[in-house]
Structure 1
Amino acid sequence: MKTTKEALIEKLKNSSCNKVKLAIVDIDGVLRGKVVSLQKFISMLDGGLGFCAVVFGWDMEDKSYDNVSVTGWHTGYPDFQAQIDLATQRQIPWDQDMPFFLADFEQDKEQGALVCPRTLLKRIRQRAVDAGFMPQFSQEFEWFNFEVTPEGFCRAEPEVAKPMTPGMFGYSILRASLKSEFFNDLFDLCHKFGIPLEGLHTETGPGVYEAAIQYSEILLAADRAVLFKTSVKEIAYKHGLMATFMAKWSESLPGNGGHVHQSLWDNKLENNLFYDPEGKWQMSQMMQQYIAGQLHCLPYILPMFAPTINSYKRLVEGAWAPTTLTWARDNRTTALRVLSGGKKSTRLETRVIGSDVNPYLAMAACLAAGLYGIEQQLDLKNPATLGNGYEDFSNGTLPSSLKEATRLMKDSELANSLFGEPFVQHFCKTREWECREFDARVTDWERKRYFEII
């Protein structure tokens, strides 16, 4: 049952809290927020809150973009009007149970709503609801943990950061016990914070964990995924650790996936519309059209799945991440993996997505592409990969760099029709900025390769 404003105010006034934490999510999936007094928070429930437009006008290092139009020095960085979503109410169990809420810019139609990732997902979700579908999604994450503090990390060379645990111990009960206090805190505190985990285990690689978040309605699933990443980092701080969701920490180790699982249900959540007991592999025609839509759209929406320079270091052959436009049943070498067999569990896993992703954008892209396939009644002509997906070039390959992927998306009529031209142009310009920032830097690889010999 939804929390009414009056009931919420009464609950907060009767609690011991005198402050509330609020946050929005920027284009990179970074939480940007503030702590306000309880009195100020109550006043915001009617009028909303002004949030500096710079949160959509700078990158993850707080450098202002010089190429975007929706906000910038040319606009003077005014406030965009955000609205608090009462349904996101939580208490932060590792921070004195401080009340926490997410906000977005859905009502700021001429400004914030054009570029807000959460608002974009709400818009795509509504298309599904209007068509009679209830999208059920979840995300799983892999990430590295290191025995280092932010101060120590800034002083030292990043590559010498010490992994939390040594060795390649995937699915290891033994290694999970080595830092059991951190392991158990992750599971228990995330649950208390409204992020229930279906599973948590070690992955292959030194200090690597993987977590699967319980599935839910798509907007809640994205909220949980965004908050999970920040929660892990904050809980890690408490244990003298740092967590990274970089897609590829080291060229010699597997990358970090952020796979998204998805299915469509009827509006009463009684029937999984992807399941057909008479279909091949129990796949319904709708599921096949949904898959066909993602395969068709993937080359033109890839930056929403792989948004950084580093993302494409993960998308390499033989590293548990896809490189080809492929699908299959229960095959971890393809871009799309079908999991079928049960009326409740039949679903699609999009494996292109890395842990460095903005979950709102990844889920919006998954759903929009799948709906496109259904609306266009696309046939799943692409044959399923029966063996090694890295060797199946029948449908082509994924773009191999952020620069190439961004160019395809920016020039795509398809992407503009799915997400709206204002969002696509803003997002692509932020990715072009990311490429220019990288191109202007001299890397350690260059220094080591050229310093002496050339």
Structure 2
Amino acid sequence: MTNNPSKDVLATRENIELLLQHDTKVKVAVVDTDGLLRGKVMHKNKFLQIVDDGFGFCSVVFGWDILDKLYSTKVEFGGDDCQYPDLLAKVDLTSYRRIPWENNIPFFLLYLVHPTTNQPLYCCPRTCLKQVVDDFKEIGYTALSGVEFEFFCFKETASSVVEKGHTNLLPLTVGMCGYSLLRPSQNQDFYYNAFDWLKDFNVDMESWHTETGPGVFEAAIAYTEAKEAGDRATLFKTAMKQIALKHGFMASFMAKPYESMPGCSGHMHFSLKNKDGKNAFAIWNKDDESHIPNMSITMVHFLAGVLHGLPSILAILAPTINSYKRLVENYWAPVTVSWGIENRLGAVRVIAPPTSSKNAARLEMRVGGADINPHLAMAAVLKCGYWGIKTKQELPVEAMAGSYQPQGQRLARTLQEAVVAMEAENSVARTVLGDEFVNHYTKTRQHEWNLWQNAVTDFERRRYMELV
């Protein structure tokens, strides 16, 4: 165990110098479109100088892709005619924590401000989530969320993966060993260090275990207020990669690494708390009742908004080319606009009494994979739910009964189809996320699709090289 002095400590402008009195450096980071942390280490004195007014952060982080290749689709902060002005980066003191596996260096996340409008940056993932959290507060609700990630671990490094051409990777463990108590013993230092270090990093795991598949783990990140939940989920992915490297191997959050095995999910849970501190998805009196037993009218409207919006936010829940290899029939992944009460076959699972307590009533969005940008995915779902409540949306499809599939819309089969649904003139995504965000985001995904269209794959070589 480490002794992390940031655990449960709230940083403020009044105490920040005291909190950093024994430090010489500070790490800061923004979250980019793909959910990657982009940041730097700063001298403590420089950090203290910019706490009040912020500092310049190059806008290219929203002008290039996951491999630092400039977007080919002419986004605002990329392209041949872009001068790459600085964004204004503002320190979020509430994000203060220390990194145990990096000698407890202090760490802060940033918000970004547009260089010309001086408004919160429309494509900043943390801003998108904060805005909808604030919207809920204005109508008397606190949004809560939590994420469960599945991910593969390999006995590889970044260099060895390149040397192998990203194929024939050696898994950390062998076999299909879900919920195994034997497999973690083979990597016990990693298994327990990860749990303890993440706790000290203020990214508590409620639990974690082996999942079915070679070298696969699943971690449930503690349920909390949605803005903090977004931070924790994003930090978890980078932290787990770093912790794995500390122990000599590599963690991957790719949605579908293997053709013949299930993919890796990034399931998100949501609920609302009302002004009285009660779960707004539960029924506490007659006024809460809906036409569906054990589901409050607020829960029904929230769910309806999410289901109506789902086809047009799919490009956020499934943001990569590989995402759609997971979203196929017969692999426990939802492919339609669908929902069910305690039913894991639909896009949304309703968890409500009598199988849960009232306080635990919630919705589980099961579409997203491990490759989501958690801030954007949470924001998109919450914004659809908010819209559903505000406009009193009705459910577009009835609940699934057993394995029965109502005739809900089939979700997009490719990233290109999802982009078309998102950028449609009257899409729910445009209504809830705004034109500026949708126009920017769809261009970044179109860039991904363009690269894929030009790629020549191993599948093509195996199938056509000799015989056509």
Alignment TM-score > 0.5, same fold: yes
| Cα distance in 1 between the residues matched to 2:458 and 2:118 | 43
Structure 1 stretches of 5 or more lacking a match?
Answer: none
Please state how far the C-alpha of 1:107 moved relative to its aligned partner.
7.1
Do residues 27 (structure 1) and 33 (structure 2) align? Answer: yes
Structure 2 stretches of 5 or more lacking a match?
Answer: 1-8
| Cα distance in 2 between the residues matched to 1:23 and 1:410 | 29
Residue type of the alignment partner of 2:107: F
Q: TM-score, normalised by structure 2?
A: 0.93
Conserved? CA contact 1:144–1:245, under 8 Å:
yes
Conserved? CA contact 2:10–2:96, under 8 Å:
no
Conserved? CA contact 1:281–1:340, under 8 Å:
no
| Cα distance in 2 between the residues matched to 1:359 and 1:409 | 18
Please state how far the C-alpha of 1:381 moved relative to its aligned partner.
5.3
Residue 420 of structure 1, aligned match among 434, 444, 457? 434
What is the match of residue 201 of structure 2? 193
| Cα distance in 2 between the residues matched to 1:429 and 1:26 | 15
Q: Bigger CA drift: 253-262 or 175-184?
A: 175-184
| Cα distance in 2 between the residues matched to 1:157 and 1:393 | 43
| Cα distance in 1 between the residues matched to 2:309 and 2:425 | 10
| Cα distance in 1 between the residues matched to 2:124 and 2:338 | 31
Deviations 1:396-441 (A, max 9, x none): 2111110000011011422222111111100000000000011111
What is the match of residue 41 of structure 1? 47
Aligned 1:295-310 pairs, distance under 5 A? 295-310=307-322
Please state how far the C-alpha of 1:257 moved relative to its aligned partner.
0.4
Do residues 399 (structure 1) and 412 (structure 2) align? Answer: yes
Aligned 1:36-435 pairs, distance under 5 A? 36-72=42-78, 73-106=80-113, 109-110=117-118, 113-268=121-276, 270-276=277-283, 280-341=292-353, 342-380=357-395, 382-388=397-403, 392-413=405-426, 414-435=428-449
Q: Bigger CA drift: 409-418 or 84-93?
A: 409-418
Please state how far the C-alpha of 1:281 moved relative to its aligned partner.
4.5
Please state how far the C-alpha of 1:238 moved relative to its aligned partner.
0.6
Please state how far the C-alpha of 1:186 moved relative to its aligned partner.
1.3
Please state how far the C-alpha of 1:393 moved relative to its aligned partner.
4.6
Q: Bigger CA drift: 1-10 or 395-404?
A: 1-10
Deviations 1:294-337 (A, max 9, x none): 11111111111000000000001111210111100111111000
Q: Bigger CA drift: 1-10 or 296-305?
A: 1-10
What is the match of residue 449 of structure 1? 463
Percent identity over the alignment?
Answer: 44
| Cα distance in 2 between the residues matched to 1:169 and 1:378 | 43
Conserved? CA contact 2:397–2:406, under 8 Å:
no
Conserved? CA contact 1:137–1:217, under 8 Å:
yes
| Cα distance in 2 between the residues matched to 1:31 and 1:69 | 20
Q: Bigger CA drift: 101-110 or 242-251?
A: 101-110
Residue type of the alignment partner of 2:454: A
Secondary structure of the 1:76 match is: coil
Deviations 1:120-164 (A, max 9, x none): 111111111111110010111000000011111111132211000
Secondary structure of the 2:74 match is: coil
Secondary structure of the 2:227 match is: helix
Please state how far the C-alpha of 1:176 moved relative to its aligned partner.
2.0
Conserved? CA contact 2:113–2:119, under 8 Å:
no
Q: Bigger CA drift: 78-87 or 60-69?
A: 60-69
Please state how far the C-alpha of 1:447 moved relative to its aligned partner.
0.9
| Cα distance in 1 between the residues matched to 2:75 and 2:190 | 43
Residue type of the alignment partner of 2:332: W
| Cα distance in 2 between the residues matched to 1:325 and 1:110 | 39
Structure-2 change in CA distance of 1:403 and 1:381 (3 Å): closer
Residue type of the alignment partner of 1:343: K
| Cα distance in 1 between the residues matched to 2:122 and 2:76 | 8
| Cα distance in 2 between the residues matched to 1:51 and 1:396 | 42
Deviations 1:354-392 (A, max 9, x none): 110000110001101111111111223521101226xx2
Deviations 1:89-139 (A, max 9, x none): 010000010000000115765576121111111111111111111001011
Q: Bigger CA drift: 108-117 or 52-61?
A: 108-117
Secondary structure of the 1:229 match is: helix
Conserved? CA contact 2:419–2:445, under 8 Å:
yes
Q: Bigger CA drift: 112-121 or 35-44?
A: 112-121
| Cα distance in 1 between the residues matched to 2:165 and 2:344 | 34
Conserved? CA contact 2:87–2:114, under 8 Å:
no
Structure-2 change in CA distance of 1:281 and 1:236 (3 Å): farther
| Cα distance in 2 between the residues matched to 1:57 and 1:320 | 35
Conserved? CA contact 1:324–1:397, under 8 Å:
yes
Please state how far the C-alpha of 1:286 moved relative to its aligned partner.
0.8
Please state how far the C-alpha of 1:81 moved relative to its aligned partner.
0.4
What is the match of residue 14 of structure 2? 6
- Number of residue-to-residue matches in the alignment: 449
* Superposition RMSD in Å: 1.5
Please state how far the C-alpha of 1:395 moved relative to its aligned partner.
1.6
